[in-house]
Structures are given as C-alpha cells and as structure tokens.
Amino acid sequence: MKLIFEKSKPGRGTAMLPPCDVPFAEMDESLKRKAPLPLPEIGEGELARHYSELERRTHGVNNGFYPLGSCTMKYNPHLNEDIAMMVGFNRIHPLQPERTAQGCLGIIHLAEKLYCEITGMDAITFQPSAGAHGEFTGIAMIRAYHQKNGEDEQRREILIPDAAHGTNPASAAMNGYKVVTIPSGPDGCTNMEAFRSAVGPKTAGVMLTNPNTLGIFEKNIAEITDLVHTAGGLCYYDGANLNAVMGIVNPGAMGFDIIHLNLHKTFSTPHGGGGPGSGAVGCKEILRPFLPVPIVSETKNGYTLEYNRPDSIGKVRSFYGNFLVVVRALCYILSLGSDGVKEASEGAVLNANYLRKKIADGKYVAYKEPSMHEFVLGLSELKKETGISALDIAKGLLDYGIHPPTMYFPLIVEEALMVEPTETETRETLDEAAEAFNTLFRMAKEEPEKLHGAPFTTPVKRPDEVEAARHPILRYQFD
C-alpha cells in the first residue's frame, strides 16, 4: 500500500499541508523513508467493512443511551469535529516554529480566557492529558507552593471525602502526601464534625468534587474552603462534575484555589475509547507561578511559548497538551454561548431528577436528597430479596441497547449503580430507559434465574472480567 498525497483531493484534512519551513523536495535525503511502511495490504472496501463491524460491536452515544455516571457521555456535536478537522488545526506539528502557529496559540489563549470565566480562576494550562493527570499536576502545584513558603515539611496531609473518585487519593499519594479520608454523612455530604477535627496545621489541602460523586451538592462548601484556608491549606476542586453547575456557580466562588476540568467530559469530546482527553488545570493568582511550562503569553509580536518561569513545576507531558480537544471545547462553548452553557447544566439536572423519579418511583435511590446531574441507586435490598445484583441489572440493560451505569462506585454505597443521563437525551429516551430498569426489577422478582444469564443479544455475553482486566488482548490479530 502506498500513501499518495498528491492524488488526494482537498477537503477534510487530506491534502494541503500547512506552511512548512523546508519543502519535502529540499529535505535532507537521509531523513526520508527509503521504503513504504509495511502496512497490511487491504482494499478500502475491506477496511470500511472492518471498521463498520467494529462499530456494530461497540456501544456509543451514537447508537444508544449511555448513562455512565461521572463520565458525562453527552452527545458531541459534529460541528466540533468539523472545526477540529480543519487543516490549519489538525496538520500542525508540535515542533513547528511559533511564528507559523500563531492561530493555534491564539486558540489556546482565547480558551484560557473563557475557561477562566467559567471556573472563576485566573490562569489555565491545557497540558495535562486527562482528569487524573490534572489532579496530579494540581497537587504538585500545591506542594510547590508550600515548599516555596517553607511549610512542606509541616504540611503532609491532604483531606479527601470517602465518596471521592479513586484518582484523588492516588494523585495525593503520588505527590508524597498522606491521605486523610473524611466520612460522608447520612445526607451524602461531607461529615462536618469529622472535617473540622481533621483540618489543622498538618493540612496541605483538601480535594473535593462538587457536586460530589453521589450527585449531591455540598451544602457546607463555603465553610469547608474557609476552614482549610484559615488553617493555611489550599483547596483543590475535581471538576469532573462541572456539568451540573457550569454557568450557575463556579469553583472560584465556592472558595477553591485550583481545579481541573475534564474537557473531554463536560466540554464535549468523544471519550468512550479512553482518549485523547484534556485535564485542563486552572488556578488562582497565588498559584500561577507554579503552572507547568510552557505557558502561552501574548506579547507585542504575537503569541509566544514562555519557558522562563523559575517556580514552575516543570513539564507534565510533551508540548502543550491534546490541542484538538481544546479546539473542540472552545468550539462547544462558543457555539452554546453563555446562556447555552447554563442551559446545558440546567437540562442535565432536570434530566437526572426526572429519571431518578421514574425508576421505581425513586425507591432504590441511595440518598433521598434531590440530586444534581446524576444519582446513585443502591440495590442491596433488591439483592437480599431476589439474589439479583447491580451487575445483573447492568447486564440486563445491555439487551435494551443501554450502556450500563457506572457500577459499584462510589464505594460507600452497596450494590451501587450511578446514573448520569446528561442534558442531550430526550424525554422519550428517558422514559424508555426508566421502562427498561423497571422491567428488569420485575424480572428480578419473577425470573431471577433468567436475568443471571443476561445479556442475550450482545456479541460478547459475560466475559471473565478478571481475565479481561489482567490479560487484555490489545492488538489486532492478523490470522
């Protein structure tokens, strides 16, 4: 197979290379490939069938409801893709000289400005590749701040509620901190008594998700951030659930100093397959000196990548992050406008509360408080009665063309199913989903044995999940 660029027609990213300092013809011969890449020889038709077959075997937002809690599997507008595929964006090379990439640097600069407005922060880096990576970066910045102030040896603890995503304690531990776990109360919020007694001179900071992973807004958030600041610590906001509050309240107003956004979740990039993502990290002025390098600065002569920043934690990945995710995220908010951004959150909260009420009339919800953009079902009672577990219900949903909710998380809810419908689903879809859940609950009582065998309609039934996690087959087989 030969790649013949001259023959491809101009269009969505195929031809028209961007300006390059050295034309191909003048490039040093030693740098050019001597033989074509040994790619498998197959025709376009076969290739198209192969990918269509893979598509049929997978589940995406394009073919069904996908209420995977905390992951915000919203429909991603095609407009984002069209913009991200423009040659000026997707044929750029990370080593291209700055002066030939002014438009792209301008995009990063504009995105920084708008996302500062949405989050109430003063500066943002788009370098981290995902939320977890953003957390690691943010906690490293908190540590650099305490080091600079000579308090690192004293401040060894990060406080984290027990409902937190597992990446939070991992990010704190990877930065050398001791994790102090704070229990949640019966209302699903942080237990304030436990919090007050945990915060003190050893506190480096708190990591908090709001609304939390139970889908509940921390009603004491102002007191929490106040307590930490008074003790000399800093407040980190895990922004994975921003889809519930964007345009309504921002983490800056809640008292946070540093945050990450999962641009691929809240701000619309397809992310079911594991990437690429963007865990943009925003911070208040006091933490700006510690941001990773380079940062994009605007000067008299245009945009430039600034490396000379002595207090920076350094680089956390190559170049300046997954740029095309930033393009999509910027396109998304510009096309929605500030009213649209707010409306998206309102729709997400409305949809979650609607579905929560329609599934068994709210009987199985783990917390009775009104939810934000997601809610958690606790099925331990159903399991005791019928032997049907959260896993069985999740498998049963597959036969209705529904991707299972997040299972067995948060860890503090037994037999948990965490449901996040997002704002892009219609009332009809929510009604159908509620009907599927309710049918499965009936089946649990009437034909539990059958439900243990679900799913019946998918290409893969019940794989050995331990084996699949330990020994995944990650490569295409050529035989």
Ligand X SMILES: *Cc1c(COP(=O)(O)O)cnc(C)c1O
132 binds ligand X (CB under 6 A): yes
User: How far is residue 8's CA from residue 402's CA, in Å, rounded to a whole number?
Assistant: 39
* Near ligand X in 240-259, by CB under 6 A: 240
Q: Which is nearer to ligand X, 232 or 279 (CB)?
A: 279
**If 0-12 CB within 10 Å is exposed, 13-18 middle and 19+ buried, where does residue 193 land?**
exposed
Among 279, 282, 321, 404, which residue interacts with ligand X (rule: CB under 6 A)? 279
User: Near ligand X by CB under 6 A, which window of 59-67, 130-138, 315-323, 445-453?
Assistant: 130-138
> C-beta of 279: minimal distance to ligand X in Å?
6
Nearest CA-CA partner of 409 in 225, 234, 179, 240: 240
How many residues in the shown chain lie near ligand X by CB under 6 A? 13
Binding mask 295-324 for ligand X (x = CB under 6 A): ------------------------------
User: How far is residue 375's CA from residue 34's CA, in Å, rounded to a whole number?
Assistant: 57
- Tell me the residue number closest to ligand X, measured at CB: 131
CA dihedral 326, 330, 333, 336 (to 10 degrees): -120
> C-beta of 396: minimal distance to ligand X in Å?
24
Write phi, then psi, for 321 (nearest 5 degrees).
95, -175
Long-range contacts of 407-413 (CB under 8 A, 24+ apart): 409/69, 409/70, 409/213, 410/162, 410/163, 410/164, 410/213, 410/214, 410/376, 411/162, 412/162, 412/163, 412/184, 413/214, 413/366, 413/376, 413/378
262 binds ligand X (CB under 6 A): yes
- Separation of first and last alpha carbons in the chain: 19
Contact 196, 227 (CB under 8 A): yes
> C-beta of 271: minimal distance to ligand X in Å?
8
User: How far is residue 79's CA from residue 66's CA, in Å, rounded to a whole number?
Assistant: 21
70 binds ligand X (CB under 6 A): yes
User: Near ligand X by CB under 6 A, which window of 27-35, 125-133, 242-250, 447-455?
Assistant: 125-133
Q: Which is nearer to ligand X, 240 or 393 (CB)?
A: 240
190 binds ligand X (CB under 6 A): no
213 binds ligand X (CB under 6 A): yes
> C-beta of 476: minimal distance to ligand X in Å?
25
215 binds ligand X (CB under 6 A): no
163 binds ligand X (CB under 6 A): no
209 binds ligand X (CB under 6 A): yes
112 binds ligand X (CB under 6 A): no
268 binds ligand X (CB under 6 A): no
Please name the residues in contact with 342: beta carbons below 8 A apart, sequence gap of 6 or more.
246, 247, 248
| The pair of three-digit structure tokens given for residue 384, joined into one six-digit string | 């005791």
Contact 136, 269 (CB under 8 A): no
Among 131, 188, 232, 410, which residue interacts with ligand X (rule: CB under 6 A)? 131
User: Near ligand X by CB under 6 A, which window of 43-51, 93-101, 124-132, 319-327?
Assistant: 124-132
371 binds ligand X (CB under 6 A): no
Distances (CA, A) of 439 to 64, 186, 447: 18, 30, 11
Residues that bind ligand X (CB under 6 A): 70, 130-132, 165, 167, 209, 213, 238, 240, 262, 277, 279
